[in-house]
Chain A
């Protein structure tokens, strides 16, 4: 009995385990940022892409400018604009609870711009003959897009989308700039409290494992779509 108690005491007092526990908890926030961004930015990118490819020139140009700004300025700066913008620009006071939504909005808007360009390249790579064959067979424009074009675009854009998604897992750490309690913020806090590298190394391991799983899943998806060329 005494032996078990010692073991429990040891574990509850171990700084390493405490660090791991804190990181694990904040890792949940990192994963949340990741998935929410993916869920919002993938379809949003499709919307931006379709406007960017619109025949109505002013809208196409607007989207071009949007994409150019999102890709041409730092994500960190965009985070600040989204978080502090409402106050500085409109004088609206935002509460602390806006931190997390601000992170999701900024990430989604930023990644949607990248995805839009990836989709556009994918759509343009589909031979015009696919549209013509569908047209002659009587498919409507909507049927042609969703049944014939989109599945092929998804297959072709999977590798570049995977790249972006892997970058995203690492970019989630930028949320520390707004003091959002995701894993990197916690790791930084722990590291300065303990004056030790260990929290950083532990966080690195978490990121690495997460990315490994992400890359593996995307690879699996790519394999699933490998049944045709």
Chain B
């Protein structure tokens, strides 16, 4: 069973159609990279997948949970009930470009608060898992620090830990290294590489083509709201067939 599956997604802001007929399937343990020029709709796609935006058309599914689908008699996609969507939210995590940690919470509380206060899990058990995650991120000594006391790379690692604590089935990243100084991107890419090695299912929007090529099983090239080309890294990045993909990669000196 696919972890995440969308078919014929369409999304408009007013008269601007940003996503046009996006279909994608992500299998368990797969790492999918999404590349493409600015404004092609990559972020919008992740925002629709993580329920920050609603699509206008198409179907979307996490495991066997339907998020939205086309129904006869409706001229737009119909979403599942709020209680169903609440359950769906536990299936995915999202890592933002600019971290979006809660500045008034300590590192540990940033990670623990949602599981304890939203999912009502036991505080003691969550704390142990949070500490283990921080250990894995090399941040055990920062548990009591506040986000403003951390470097960008450290903040991003905390936000990854915050997404992982709920044991999501799939993790989305929207340009996780774009807000970081070049010397800090490496530490985040290493974390993602480790997660990939542990068979974490991930969808990563990135401008780091070399990284996408190295870490992913599947690469998606988006332009103008369409998936122009997709396939293995060797196919899409190594030997792109579509002229738009070729032009995009050439511009990045690839």
Query: What residues make up the interface of A, taking CB atoms closer than 8 Å to B?
Result: 127, 129-130, 132-140, 143, 147-148, 151-152, 155, 227-229
Asked if B146 and A138 sit within 8 Å, CB to CB, the answer is no
- Using CB atoms and an 8 Å cutoff, list the residues of chain B in contact with chain A: 50-52, 86, 89-90, 92-94, 96, 98, 100-104, 113-114, 117-119, 146-148, 162, 166
A136 touches B94 (CB 8 A): yes
CB-CB under 8 A for A228 and B93, given A138-B86, A138-B119, A139-B114: no
The listed residue with most B CB atoms (<10 A of its CB), out of A140, A148, A228, is A228
By a CB distance below 8 angstroms, the chain A residues around B50 are 136
With A133-B102, A228-B103 as given contacts, are A147 and B146 in contact (CB-CB < 8 Å)? Answer: no
Known contacts being A137-B114, A227-B146, A229-B148, is A132 close to B52, with CB within 8 Å?
A: yes
- Assess the B52–A136 pair: CB atoms within 8 A: yes
Alpha-carbon distance A155/B146, docked complex (angstroms):
15
On whether A229 and B103 interact (CB within 8 A), knowing A136-B50, A138-B86, the answer reads yes
Contact B162 A137, beta carbon cutoff 8 Å: yes
Q: How far is the CA of A85 from the CA of B113 in the complex (A)?
A: 51
Total contacts A to B, CB within 8 angstroms?
57
Contacts of B148 in A (CB 8 A): 228-229
What separation, in Å, do the CA atoms of A139 and B118 have in the docked complex?
A: 6
Shortest Cβ distance from A146 into chain B, in angstroms? 11
- Residue from B96, B100, B104, B117 within 8 A of A143 (CB atoms): B117
| 10 shortest interchain CB distances as A-B pairs | A133-B100, A129-B100, A137-B114, A229-B148, A138-B118, A228-B146, A136-B94, A138-B89, A228-B103, A151-B104
Q: How far is the CB of A37 from chain B (nearest CB, A)?
A: 28
Q: Which residues of B contact A135 (CB under 8 A)?
A: 51-52
Residue contact B89 to A136, C-beta cutoff 8 Å: yes
Q: Is the CB of B104 within 8 A of A228?
A: yes
B98, A129: Cβ atoms closer than 8 Å: yes
Interchain residue pairs with CB less than 8 A apart (15): A127-B100, A135-B51, A136-B89, A137-B89, A137-B118, A137-B162, A138-B119, A139-B114, A139-B117, A139-B118, A147-B113, A152-B103, A152-B104, A228-B104, A228-B147
Contact between A138 and B90, CB atoms less than 8 A apart:
yes
Distance in Å from the Cβ of B59 to the closest Cβ of chain A?
A: 21
A136-B89, A137-B162 given; A147·B103 CB < 8 A: no
**Interfacial chain B residues near A152, Cβ < 8 Å:** 103-104
- CB neighbours (8 Å) of B114 from chain A are 137-139
Residues of A within 8 A of B104 (CB): 151-152, 155, 228
Given A155-B104, A228-B104, A136 and B93 contact (CB-CB distance below 8 Å): yes
Residues of B within 8 A of A155 (CB): 104
Q: Which residue of B lies closest to A148 (CB)?
A: B102
A94 to B24, CA, bound (A): 73
B96 touches A129 (CB 8 A): yes
CB distance from A127 to the nearest CB of B (A): 8
Q: Once bound together, how far apart are the Cα atoms of A132 and B96, in whole Å?
A: 9
Nearest B residue to A132 via CB reads B52
CA distance A79 to B19 in the complex (A): 58
B89-A143 in contact (CB<8A):
no
Chain A residues near B94 (CB-CB < 8 A): 136
A130 to B103, CA, bound (A): 9
Measured CB to CB, the nearest residue on chain A to B159 is A133
Bound Cα distance A133, B102 (Å): 9
CA distance A197 to B119 in the complex (A): 66
Q: For the complex formed, measure the closest distance between the CB of B222 and the CB atoms of chain A, giving whole angstroms.
A: 21
| B103 to A, closest residue via Cβ | A228
Q: State A152–B93 Cα separation when bound (angstroms).
A: 24
C-alpha gap A130/B93 in the complex (Å): 15
The CA of A229 and the CA of B119, in the complex, are separated in Å by 28
**Across the two chains, which residue of chain B brings its CB closest to A225?**
B104
Contacts of A132 in B (CB 8 A): 52, 96, 100
Tell which of A135, A137, A148, A229 has the most Cβ of chain B within 10 Å.
Answer: A137
Minimal Cβ-Cβ distance residue in B for A229: B148
Which partner residue on chain A sits nearest B146 by CB separation?
A228
Q: What chain B residues lie within 8 Å of A129 (beta carbons)?
A: 96, 98, 100
Distance, CA A135 to CA B118, complexed state (A) = 11
B100 CB contacts on chain A under 8 angstroms: 127, 129-130, 132-133
A154–chain B nearest beta-carbon distance, Å: 9
A71 to chain B, nearest CB (A): 30
In the complex formed, the residue of A with least CB distance to B98 is A129
